[in-house]
Each structure stands twice: as structure tokens, then as C-alpha cells.
A and B are shown apart, each in its own frame.
Chain A
Amino acid sequence: MKETIELSIDSNLEFVDMVGSVTKNVTTKLGFDDEDASWIELAVHEAVINAITHGNRNAADKQVEVRYEVEPECLTVFVRDYGAGFDVSRLPDPTNKDNLLNPNGRGIFYMRTFMDEVEHSLHPEGGSLVRLTKHRRSA
């Protein structure tokens, strides 16, 4: 059975910690161990920051919507912004030696490292959407 938690925040970095608190509560509910929980929290944090700064370009009138879908063995987090989206395939590889000293460009890489699935798409009703999925490890 799937449970859903949804929240919507203004494009303001001050609210990112609040989303982090919700993420921590959700991962605790699902029984993720501390290490997985902290990496999931960071992945969601990165997605929300991208939505605020890159998607919505910090526009005061644009929201970031976060939806958690909690299933017994799996957590899926959707982060939606109201921006134009971007081509993820064009992102430079931060681990390439030519990019190591780039101060930016690691957020999505971290998301992909810590989550089992990361998918970027355009939201059918406008804006862009990132889906983050993490499966609970078997004991």
C-alpha cells in the first residue's frame, strides 16, 4: 500500500532544511539505516536546491513541490519546479580530470550515486520533474 506526503515551498533556500526534516522522518518511517537515510536526505536536498536555483531561478512566485511516495520496500521522491527544464545528457562529468576543479556541477552526480534511480523529465502540466527512487536493502 502506498502512502503519500506532499509539500510545496517557495523558491527560498531557507526552506530547504524543512524539506530535509520531512525527508528524515520519511526515511525513519521506512526503516532505512542511518547511512542510507543521510544519503537519501542529501540527494533530495540537492534536487530541491536545483529546483529552486536552476529550475525556478529563485523566482519568488514559483513553487517547488516535493512528493514522497512511501511503499513498504521503496521510497520515491518527486521534485517539481516550474522552469523550462534542461538536457541532463549535456552535463559535464565532474569526475573527468578536466572538470575536477570546477566549483559546480556535482549535485546531480551525487543524486545518481546515492539513489537507485534518478529520472529527469518534463512535467505534463508544465515545469520539470525529477524522480528519485531508493529501495530498502534486504536484511
Chain B
Amino acid sequence: MAQLNIKERDAGDVSILDLSGKVTIGEGSVQLREAVRRLLDSGKKKILLNLGDVSYVDSSGIGELVSSYTTTNNGGGQLKLLNLTKKIQDLLMITKLLTVFETYDNEEAAVSSFK
């Protein structure tokens, strides 16, 4: 059974990935990487990761968020985070990554923020 489930939907020209489960070393991180890569390859440049249902994340999962952010930016796109759980917020804060990511707890505001 996959540890991470990813559902894709659109809100206008913003692609939203609803993540559910674990983003950890191995399968979870790879799935996230591939999902973001698929969006970028199809020309989607506005990506919102909904993390509200992520039950567990480790340093590799955090690293995959960073990689996704970098890859998207390098491709001329934007990647933002929605509905951070307290744990993810803490892990990002501890490693000063809250200064890197734009984060939102409201989907409408997140979608509107994309230029």
C-alpha cells in the first residue's frame, strides 16, 4: 500500500496537489517528486501543495519539499504550501525554511496569491 496518496485538481490556472499520508525517504518522497515533475512537464507553473492530510514527514520529506520548490522556481514557476500541520510548521521553522516558502491556511487566499 502506497504511503502517500496524491490527488491533483485545478483552481483556475493553479494546480493543487492534495497530499495524504507520509512524505518520507523512499516511496513518499519519490511520489511527490514525480507528481511535481509531471505538472511542470505539462506546462503547469503554479503549484500549490496541500499538506493538511500529511500524517508524517521526515528530513527527506522536508528535503523533497525544498527540491520541489527549487525545481519549480528554476522552471519559471511558483510553488507554495497550504494547510501546514503543526509538525510540518515546526520542522520548517527549526530549519528556517519558513523564510523560503510562502504558506497559507486558506485555499482561496493561496490561489489568489499566484501571479
Q: Do A and B bind each other?
A: yes
Chain A residues within CB distance 8 Å of chain B: 13, 16, 38, 42, 45-46, 49, 53, 94-95, 97, 100-104, 106-107, 109-110, 113
- Contact-residue size bin, chain B (C-beta under 8 Å from the other chain): 20 to 34
Q: A42-B58, A103-B66, A107-B59 given as contacts; is B25 within 8 A of A49 (CB)?
A: yes
- Assembly CA distance A129 to B25 (angstroms): 21
Q: Are B26 and A106 in contact (CB under 8 A)?
A: no
- Assembly CA distance A97 to B97 (angstroms): 10
Q: Are A106 and B62 in contact (CB under 8 A)?
A: yes
Given contacts A13-B26, A101-B100, A107-B58, 13 further A-B contacts (CB under 8 A): A16-B25, A45-B58, A100-B100, A101-B66, A101-B70, A102-B63, A103-B63, A103-B70, A104-B63, A106-B59, A106-B95, A110-B91, A113-B94
Which residues in B have their C-beta under 8 angstroms from that of A38? 87
Which residues in A have their C-beta under 8 angstroms from that of B97? 100
| Prevailing SS type, chain A contact patch | helix
Which residues in A have their C-beta under 8 angstroms from that of B58? 42, 45-46, 49, 107
Q: Are A95 and B59 in contact (CB under 8 A)?
A: no
Q: Are A109 and B95 in contact (CB under 8 A)?
A: yes
Which residues in A have their C-beta under 8 angstroms from that of B26? 13
- What is the minimal beta-carbon distance from B29 to any residue of chain A, in angstroms? 9
Which residues in A have their C-beta under 8 angstroms from that of B62? 106
Q: Are A13 and B25 in contact (CB under 8 A)?
A: yes
Does B60 count as interface, using CB distance less than 8 angstroms?
A: yes
Which residues in A have their C-beta under 8 angstroms from that of B25? 13, 16, 49, 53
